[in-house]
Structure formats: structure tokens, C-alpha cells
């Protein structure tokens, strides 16, 4: 099981009430909420191992160089992501909890968690569940290898299992075509403008007709392709963007990541007890230990 960790702790931060009674108490809702999420996932899906994939760089230079608008609207200062102070304060606690629970945290310098996930999904020799609220990771779905996405955009209670059939029914494309559709359609949340006049349905229609982005672009130059004049003009006008967008949207699949663990590491119980007592989150820690089958 590969966790898009930031996606989950942001959801926990906004979804779990901050129950501090004093302003001087440290915030813990994202940390405890994340532990509860992971406990529930382990109980329901029984993964052999869990890896917390990490954004070592949330806005990598190679993507910004291709498309300067990439996540630009989310920059707070000094190229740092805009993160609420009460969440930022909890990130060291989250990292400590992951280590203590025995869940490896894996990031790669200059890359996002998506790229770590893409690499592990590519090298996996068995089934993989990717847990994320990010649609971009639909591109890693592979029914033949048993790679699927547990899609959390509507919360864990309404989580959707995204396999190839789900993606084709919802978007009209295959997982292999999803990144090309995202480039054509654009994504305001990531600062991708897309091709003017081409939304999701039109992008899917073009890909079904011409196969992939290269086929769509070839159709622009082929006057016998039957491509509508309006679309021909839009696609030709967006040629420079389409040269660069695929390198932004497609996840990297060949990073030198550590070998995935064969078994889950044993939790550090004394450290977890200390964290639980200090931060008042012993109940959440108890739930994840119970899910892991640890007897106290």
C-alpha cells in the first residue's frame, strides 16, 4: 500500500476537529487523523506492507522549468507551499509517528510523492493499492499488475476503488490515456491551463479517436483526419504548451527508490508511548497498533 501522505494529512487536518482547550497546546488533529486513516486502511485492506510516500519537493524544478505556472498559485513565500501554521507544526510529529509505527517514509530529492508512487507501482511484482485524492495518479492504474487507486477525494467513508473500468466509465479513457487527457483538459488546481476550448469530454473523445496525444497532434497536421476546424486551430495554437505539458503531468517511474520492505517493521512501543503521553494521542496510536495486530 502506497500512501500519498500529504494528500492524507491535509484531508485529516481539515476533516478532524481541532479539540485543543488551550492555545498553548500543540495541534494534533492532522497527526491523529492520519494515524486513524492508516489504521482503517490496514483493517479494511490488509496490506502486506505500507509505504508513506513523501514530497521531498512539492514543486520540482524540472516541472517548473517546463511550465512556470505549475502550482504557482499555491506558493506562499520563498517557493514554499502555502500550508496553515497549525498543520506545518504537526509535520515533524507525523514523521516521528511514521518512524515509530514502522512505516517507512520515502521521498526523493527533487521529486514529488507522485513520482515515488509511480516508481514503486512500476517495479512492483504484486498487487498495489495507491491511496490518494489526486486524480493524476489514475495514470498508474494497471489491471494486469493489480495496481489500483483507492481514491479518497470524497473521504474514506465514500472512498472509490479506481481500476481501469472505473476510469473508463468516469472519464472515457484508459489509464494509459489519462495523463494525455489531463494535459489537453488542463487542471487549474495545478496551474495547467490546458488547450483553450477543450474540456474533459472533448479531450477524451479526441484520445478515443486518435489513440494518444501524439496521434491527436498528428491529426492536426493531417488535413484528411476529419478533425473539426475549431479544434485544429486550438490545438495548433497550443503547440508550445503541448510540447511541455506531458513532462509535467506524467509521473516519473524510474527513480532509484529503496527496495520495498518485504514485511512491516515492528513498532517502537516505548517511543509511541512517549509520543502518545506527550501529545495526548494515545487513543489513535492504540488504534493503529491494534490494526497492525500488536498485542499490548
- Write down the pLDDT at residue 60: 96
Q: Is the pTM of this model over 0.85?
A: yes
Q: What is the C-alpha to C-alpha distance for residues 235 and 240, in angstroms, rounded to an integer? A: 10
Q: What is the pLDDT of residue 21?
A: 82
Q: What does the block give as the cell for 253?
A: 517511474
The beta-strand segments (E) located in the chain are: 2-4, 51-53, 75-77, 80-81, 105-106, 128-132, 147-151, 160-162
| CATH 3.40.50.1010 at 2-171+252-291, yes or no | yes
- DSSP string covering 231-259: HHHHHHHTHHHHHHHHHHHSPP----PPP
CATH 3.40.50.1010 in the chain is located at: 2-171+252-291
The beta-carbon contacts of 278-283 under 8 Å, at least 24 apart in sequence, are: 279/26, 279/28, 279/31, 279/93, 280/25, 280/28, 281/28, 281/31, 281/32, 281/35, 283/32
For the stretch 77-97, pLDDT in tens is 656 778 999 999 999 999 999
Mean pLDDT of 8-15: 96
Range(s) of the chain covered by CATH 1.10.150.20: 175-249
Weakest mean pLDDT among 16-20, 191-195, 247-251: 16-20
CATH T-level fold of 175-249: DNA polymerase; domain 1 (1.10.150)
The residues facing 40 across adjacent strands are none
What is the sign of the dihedral through the CA atoms of 97, 256, 141 and 201? Answer: positive
Share of the chain above pLDDT 90, in %: 92
Amino acid at each position: 500500500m502506497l500512501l500519498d501522505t500529504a494528500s492524507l494529512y491535509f484531508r485529516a487536518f481539515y476533516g478532524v476537529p481541532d479539540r485543543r482547550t488551550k492555545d498553548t497546546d500543540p495541534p494534533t488533529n492532522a497527526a491523529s487523523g492520519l494515524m486513524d486513516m492508516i489504521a482503517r486502511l490496514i483493517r479494511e485492506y490488509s496490506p502486506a506492507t505500507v509505504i508513506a510516500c513523501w514530497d521531498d519537493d512539492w514543486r520540482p524544478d524540472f516541472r517548473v522549468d517546463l511550465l512556470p505556472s505549475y502550482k504557482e498559485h499555491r506558493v506562499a513565500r520563498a517557493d514554499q507551499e502555502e500550508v496553515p501554521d497549525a498543520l506545518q507544526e504537526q509535520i515533524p510529529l507525523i514523521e516521528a509517528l511514521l518512524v515509530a509505527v514502522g512505516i517507512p517514509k520515502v521521498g526523493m530529492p527533487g521529486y514529488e510523492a507522485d513520482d515515488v508512487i509511480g516508481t514503486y507501482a512500476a517495479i512492483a511484482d504484486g498487487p498495489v493499492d495507491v491511496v490518494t485524492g489526486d486524480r493524476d495518479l489514475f495514470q498508474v492504474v494497471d489491471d494486469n499488475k493489480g495496481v489500483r487507486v483507492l481514491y479518497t477525494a470524497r473521504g474514506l467513508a465514500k472512498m472509490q476503488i479506481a481500476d481501469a473500468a472505473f476510469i473508463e466509465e468516469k472519464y472515457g479513457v484508459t489509464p494509459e490515456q489519462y495523463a494525455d487527457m489531463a494535459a489537453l483538459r488542463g487542471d487549474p488546481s495545478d496551474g495547467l491551463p490546458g488547450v483553450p476550448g477543450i474540456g474533459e469530454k472533448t479531450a477524451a473523445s479526441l484520445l478515443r479517436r486518435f489513440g494518444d496525444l501524439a496521434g491527436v497532434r498528428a491529426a492536426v497536421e493531417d488535413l484528411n483526419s476529419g478533425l473539426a476546424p475549431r479544434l485544429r486551430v486550438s490545438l495548433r495554437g497550443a503547440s508550445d504548451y503541448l510540447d511541455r505539458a506531458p513532462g509535467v503531468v506524467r509521473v516519473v517511474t524510474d527513480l532509484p527508490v529503496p527496495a520495498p520492505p518485504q514485511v512491516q517493521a515492528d513498532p517502537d512501543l516505548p517511543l509511541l508511548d512517549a509520543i502518545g503521553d506527550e501529545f495526548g494521542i494515545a487513543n489513535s496510536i492504540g488504534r493503529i497498533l491494534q490494526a497492525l495486530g500488536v498485542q499490548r
